[in-house]
């Protein structure tokens, strides 16, 4: 089955949620690191920057998910956040020895068809045909694999109001959300 193309970034709690959504969505998926978002100023800055055109927020339906959702919503403009909710379904994820405190499934444990139905109305074809920025592009512009690559990435990140210290992969993901290949090339060449 084809993946659903979503042009907006999708924010989820953890890496297993991301893995689950990667199997059904063609989208940029950002993890909060669970409660790690509370103390990670760089992650907050990245999420703020990426939300300029909007974000889709999908957290677990348990108490922890509600706290994380409320925290994220506290630093984003409400009109830019699309809240998606999964139903409370009793059970535990296959990889866990014990279920959650509330005994319900999280995003990673949800049925793929249910998740598809949640995201279907946000399917987008506006970025179809858009040429992505690749690791090769980064290498050719000296942003990875060369002398001073980190400093060059930091300079590029500053041009896009992104946090410094991003890895090449993290910066690449962010730029593919907010810039076209042409915009990136012009900005990278001007460094």
Task: Give the mean pLDDT of 27-38.
Answer: 93
What pLDDT, on a 0 to 100 scale, did the predictor assign at position 58?
Answer: 97
- CATH number, position 48: 3.40.1360.10
Give the domain extent around 20.
4-120
64 is a domain residue: yes
- Banded pLDDT at 130 (limits 50, 70, 90): low
| Extended strands (E) in the chain | 4-5, 10-12, 25-26, 29-31, 55-59, 81-85
55, 88: one domain: yes
Q: Could you tell me the pTM of the whole model?
A: 0.75
115, 165: one domain: no
Task: Give the mean pLDDT of 126-130.
Answer: 53
**What residues contact 20, with CB distance under 8 A and at least 6 apart?**
107, 108, 110, 112, 115
What pLDDT, on a 0 to 100 scale, did the predictor assign at position 89?
Answer: 87
Domain boundary among the residues 86, 120, 154 is at 120
55, 102: one domain: yes
129 is a domain residue: no
55 has pLDDT over 50: yes
128 has pLDDT over 70: no
Task: Give the mean pLDDT of 17-24.
Answer: 96
CA distance 147 to 36: 32
The H or E element spanning position 44 is helix 41-50
- Banded pLDDT at 75 (limits 50, 70, 90): very high
25, 85: one domain: yes
169 is a domain residue: yes
Domain total in the chain = 2
Question: Could you please report the per-residue DSSP string of 83-101?
Answer: EEE----B---TT-SS--T
């Amino acid at each position: 089955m084809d993946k659903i193309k979503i042009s907006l970034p999708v924010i989820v709690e953890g890496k297993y949620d991301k893995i689950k959504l990667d199997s059904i969505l063609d989208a940029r998926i950002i993890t909060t690191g669970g409660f790690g978002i509370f103390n990670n100023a760089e992650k907050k800055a990245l999420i703020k920057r990426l939300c300029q055109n909007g974000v889709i927020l999908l957290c677990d339906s348990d108490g922890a998910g509600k706290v994380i959702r409320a925290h994220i919503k506290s630093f984003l403009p409400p009109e830019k956040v699309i809240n998606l909710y999964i139903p409370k379904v009793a059970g535990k994820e296959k990889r866990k020895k014990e279920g959650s405190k509330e005994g319900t499934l999280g995003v990673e444990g949800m049925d793929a068809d249910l998740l598809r139905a949640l995201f279907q109305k946000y399917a987008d074809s506006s970025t179809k045909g858009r040429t992505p920025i690749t690791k090769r592009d980064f290498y050719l512009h000296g942003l990875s694999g060369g002398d001073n690559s980190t400093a060059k990435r930091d300079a590029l990140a500053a041009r896009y109001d992104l946090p410094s210290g991003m890895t090449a992969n993290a910066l690449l993901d962010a730029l593919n959300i907010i810039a076209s290949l042409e915009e990136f090339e012009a900005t990278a060449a001007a460094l």
